[in-house]
Structure 1
């Protein structure tokens, strides 16, 4: 088990060094995936990799949604100003 955790931590460290922007979501997703993978049959490393990918994708989706909401809010404000 310690070997799997070491491998997962090393993998996450390498991914984090390659690009910090991509690490957002990866660390929390990787940790959750490692735990889930461990309980699903001692596949912590595989779970960490899957969790990292899923966490990163979820973060990208959240950022896109936030940008869309900000854009819509700005458009609403501009329309309100034009009506006044």
Structure 2
């Protein structure tokens, strides 16, 4: 039952994100799942939280890269 729930959550998360967001989600879910497992057998909750955090970090990094490209092109 838990495995089916985890697969369903992962599938929905991957299908509803863009490429950069999915990349952050996958990395975050792996780390969060492992941490959650060792912190009281809450791997699914850890994976979901890690996915959200990973997506947040990926978006943040994309914004910073876009900002440096815009600022970098203005200086010549």
TM-score (ref. length: structure 1)? 0.77
Q: Specify which structure has the bigger relative contact order, considering alpha-carbon pairs within 8 angstroms and separated by 6 or more residues.
A: 2
Equivalent residue runs for 1:29-68 within 5 Å: 29-68=28-67
> Which blocks of at least 5 consecutive residues in structure 2 are unaligned?
none
Aligned residues: 75
The Cα shift of 1:64 comes to 0.5
TM-score (ref. length: structure 2)? 0.84
The Cα shift of 1:20 comes to 3.6
Larger Rg: 1
RMSD: 1.7
Find the counterpart in structure 2 of residue 13 from structure 1: 11
Find the counterpart in structure 2 of residue 75 from structure 1: 74
> Which blocks of at least 5 consecutive residues in structure 1 are unaligned?
78-84
Aligned counterparts of 1:36 and 1:4: Cα–Cα separation in 2: 17
